[in-house]
Structure 1
């Protein structure tokens, strides 16, 4: 039986190659994920709100650094957020509490918008009302005679308001609770959340709507915590339409170094 021995020069050559591959990984020709990690590591400013990060994106912050539904329009001040085809003014963002304070654009400085539509933010799975939020109901184009159907506690001054162009013998009402006696009598009833509410009067109604309300957000919060814990930056893979953890060596579906090979762009090690 013959034994084939590898020559000393050949053995030395293979050792050199192995050491080189370990110390100097060969990047993919499409190695763009490291740029994503760097880009998403930077916070951004949107109008007067500073130091914003995931899940928000917009302005000069790429979409892959954020999450769908959190694009901010930074060309106006305060910024605006579109949720279920309704625009909201964004007054403040608390990244630690994962909450933001918003107010409806169509109700800014008015209680008589052109279109009477319910607030949409609670229809989104991304947002939820925080404690202390009160849902006001605004009833539009109600017969003036309907005041006789209101509970006695809701006939005091401040529970009715007028809009330009109101027809004769019609009025509008608002309440922090549903008035069943008005259902079917008024042309429209609209839910508008507010954060601060007390003794009702028309000035308080206008002020409360302008001040807005608080909502919390959920943009894969648990996955983001795990991603950041592994040294990554939270983001989104626009190709697979799923959460992405952008890391120094590339992007991964969950945490840095997890599920290597599932994403097409990563460092080969």
Structure 2
């Protein structure tokens, strides 16, 4: 039987309200959640919620516990695309699955070659849709770049090349990406 405290106490912070299992945090106790992986932190400065997954910080834009989905934004890249704190975005695939509209883009930093017109570019790098293996197979991997980062986005790639690259990248990173939570494998409790 469900603990009465858990039934009565939901997580609410800013635009996220009435969030229940498997999430916990703020005034919703750890015992009401699905473990450390689902600990939500309310940032009092701006009433946003963050979650730490595999040592990566994400801002949580929305959570739908009924549909088992949430929208995440990589906090480091949303604040400053030129200074990523970690490399590729990693979410344990046995617990989290990218939504059907999500796909990876790869951001390359400090590239020594001239910008290929098939890439979007911005003041500190270039980017392209696709993951590392796909780009290498298609010979679209830029030469002479000192670092690259992969991040999922949901914003469709329309015309991101040329001077509009930074605008697109900011929009895509701020919008975030959808994640489906696989409750069955991630946690032992049922909803």
Query: CA-to-partner distance for each residue in 1:135-166, whole Å, 9 max, x for gaps?
Result: 11001111134x4xx4x6x05xxx12223xxx
Residues 126, 217 of structure 1: 8 Å contact kept: yes
Residues 132, 195 of structure 1: 8 Å contact kept: yes
Counting only pairs closer than 5 Å after superposition, residues 136-147 of structure 1 correspond to structure 2 as 136-145=105-114, 147=115
Aligned to 2:10: 44
* Rounded Cα–Cα distance in structure 1 between residues aligned with 2:76 and 2:11: 25
RMSD of the alignment, in Å?
A: 2.5
Q: 1:96 to 1:112 in 2, by over 3 A?
A: same
1:161 pairs, out of 110, 122, 134, with 122
Residues 11, 27 of structure 2: 8 Å contact kept: no
Structure 1 gaps of 5+ residues are: 1-33, 164-171, 223-241, 247-269
Aligned to 1:233: none
* Rounded Cα–Cα distance in structure 2 between residues aligned with 1:221 and 1:54: 15
1:193 pairs, out of 152, 157, 171, with 152
Aligned to 1:131: 100
SS at match of 1:56: coil
Higher percent of residues as strand: 2
Residues 116, 188 of structure 1: 8 Å contact kept: no
SS at match of 2:78: coil
* Rounded Cα–Cα distance in structure 2 between residues aligned with 1:115 and 1:87: 9
Structure 2 gaps of 5+ residues are: none
Q: Who wins on radius of gyration, i.e. which is larger?
A: 1
Q: 1:62 to 1:46 in 2, by over 3 A?
A: same
Runs of 4+ deviating beyond 2 Å:
177-185, 219-222, 242-246
Instruction: Report the CA distance between 1:130 and its aligned residue.
Output: 0.7
After TM superposition, the score normalised by the length of structure 2 is: 0.81
* Rounded Cα–Cα distance in structure 2 between residues aligned with 1:124 and 1:57: 21
Aligned to 1:56: 23
